[in-house]
Structure 1
Amino acid sequence: MQINSIWGSKKKISFWDKLFRRNKNIAKELSTPDIIENNCQGLILGNYNLKSFLFSTDMALIENNDADAILAVYPFPPSPKIIKTLIDFSGKPVVCGVGGGKTKGKKSLEMAIYAEEMGASGIIVNIPFENKDIKKIRQKVSIPIFATVATSDFDFLKNRIEAGVNVFHVSGGTNTNKIVKEITAKFPGFPVMATGGKSLTDIDESINSGSKAIVLSPPSNKDLFKTIMDKYRDTF
């Protein structure tokens, strides 16, 4: 599969391995790069050590990917139906988006409480989210609060931590690895994960910069079907 240089199927498991090695993970169509499992330290959430997060709410992609956890963020107001469905379906830790620029205040607080009640492993807020609202959420939920950031500004980050944030998710475009390195220097030991980019080199640089986990964006259904249909056209 040549959709993206970071994606590909691992060695297929035979029928007999599936039958007699039930404790082994079955290879998925979209397998996360080995570099993440081998080199990432991981984030501890409950009983899990999470090294890879799939940035998706697509159930087909979630089902056919072997990432450790799901980062469920989308450009719409948070939905109780989506939160519950993804947590019930995924069979792995889910971190749910509860607010940012469009959703905040009481609505975000309600979604955070609901996400915890449904079994979310964490909630995440986007860059515009206000610290006063993070504090209110922190008072009501016990699961980790993630915050997406695109800066290494000391005061901004310090205020986020004091408000109750437990993990920074760095999504700074081409500056992501630089920001990760600066955050880990300013706040040694504070958990940071990063959007991994589009190549193994990007992922390697993120890990070496101090990211404890990598967020991966899967190829779109359109791109997946293009590869399949090109093959079918050539064959038939």
Structure 2
Amino acid sequence: MKKEFKVKTPLYSKCIEVPKIIDKATGIHILSRFVKAIIFTTDVVVIKNNNADAIMAVYPFTPQPILSHALATVANMPLMVGIGGGTTQGDRVVELALDAEFQGVLGVVLNAPIDNKTLSAVRQAVEIPIIVSVVSTKRVEERLKNGADILNVCAGKDTVEVVKYIRDRYPDVPIMATGGSSDKAIEETIDAGANAIVYTPPTTTQLMKDLMATYRT
């Protein structure tokens, strides 16, 4: 067995570590990167201090280029950014996709309600991968036909079932999925067919609370 070497320093050794169980995933080769663990956050502190393979930055507001630019300057790993698909539709989504590509992001993420016409227009406009969020087993085939490169399953308690449904019918489609908060849930998601796991880290508020509790002892 080859020895694993680690180099750390006292000030920079602390970071948010993704669950080790994610190593069990097969991973996805996205352009020049190999991705298994994806952290779901827009917090620049978390983005700068974690050991994931990539960042997924999607937020519940109208996407704005200035936010994508800011996140791209902080991230020291591949970044996938949300460009709408819910409230934001049509030409605006296409323009946001182009801007994101010009910023050098690894891929763009479209929310589940995206209409197929807009999805197709994004596909024609950009060369980077398009990740479409899926919340049920409906509309999977039309998403793939209209330009989705990767499906991001975020179906809550039904995530494992939706992942299995897609994997059984589309064995060659790359799947990302939210894995839940426990190793058991993550493993079940991987076993169902997810190639990469989207992990939601603790907030900086929670981390600070834990740190202050340590300081007070």
TM-score, normalized by the shorter chain, greater than 0.5: yes
Secondary structure of 1:44 counterpart: strand
Instruction: Give CA deviations for 1:158-179 in whole Å, capped at 9, x if unaligned.
Output: 1111110011100011111111
How far the C-alpha of 1:232 sits from its partner, in A, is 2.3
Higher helix share: 1
TM-score, scaled relative to structure 2? 0.93
Aligned to 1:194: 177
Separation in 1 of the partners of 2:170 and 2:71? 33
The structure-2 alpha-carbon separation of the partners of 1:173 and 1:117, relative to structure 1 and needing over 3 Å to count, comes to same
Aligned counterpart for 1:209 among listed residues 192, 201, 210: 192
Aligned to 2:158: 175
Separation in 2 of the partners of 1:67 and 1:168? 19
Separation in 1 of the partners of 2:133 and 2:8? 39
Aligned to 1:30: 16
Aligned to 1:45: 30
- Tell me if the contact between 1:116 and 1:141 (Cα under 8 Å) persists in the aligned partners: yes
Write the mapping of 1:103-142 to structure 2, written as runs, cut at 5 A.
103-142=88-127
Secondary structure of 2:83 counterpart: strand
- Tell me if the contact between 1:100 and 1:125 (Cα under 8 Å) persists in the aligned partners: yes
Separation in 2 of the partners of 1:229 and 1:59? 21
- Tell me if the contact between 1:28 and 1:66 (Cα under 8 Å) persists in the aligned partners: no
How far the C-alpha of 1:31 sits from its partner, in A, is 0.8
Aligned counterpart for 1:165 among listed residues 148, 152, 156: 148
- Tell me whether 99-108 or 129-138 shows the greater mean CA deviation: 99-108
Secondary structure of 1:77 counterpart: coil
Secondary structure of 1:229 counterpart: helix
Separation in 1 of the partners of 2:8 and 2:159? 40
How far the C-alpha of 1:64 sits from its partner, in A, is 1.2
Aligned to 1:143: 128
How far the C-alpha of 1:27 sits from its partner, in A, is 4.8
Secondary structure of 1:147 counterpart: strand
Aligned counterpart for 2:56 among listed residues 59, 65, 71: 71
Percent of pairs identical after alignment?
38
Secondary structure of 1:57 counterpart: coil
Aligned to 2:3: none
Separation in 2 of the partners of 1:27 and 1:52? 19
TM-score, scaled relative to structure 1? 0.85
Separation in 2 of the partners of 1:27 and 1:212? 28
Separation in 1 of the partners of 2:136 and 2:160? 11
**RMSD over aligned Cα atoms:** 1.6
How far the C-alpha of 1:230 sits from its partner, in A, is 2.0
How far the C-alpha of 1:231 sits from its partner, in A, is 2.2
Write the mapping of 1:2-41 to structure 2, written as runs, cut at 5 A.
17-18=7-8, 27-37=13-23, 39-41=24-26
Runs of at least 5 residues in structure 2 that lack an aligned partner in the other structure: 1-5
Count matched residues.
211
Secondary structure of 1:164 counterpart: coil
How far the C-alpha of 1:100 sits from its partner, in A, is 2.0
Aligned to 1:88: 73
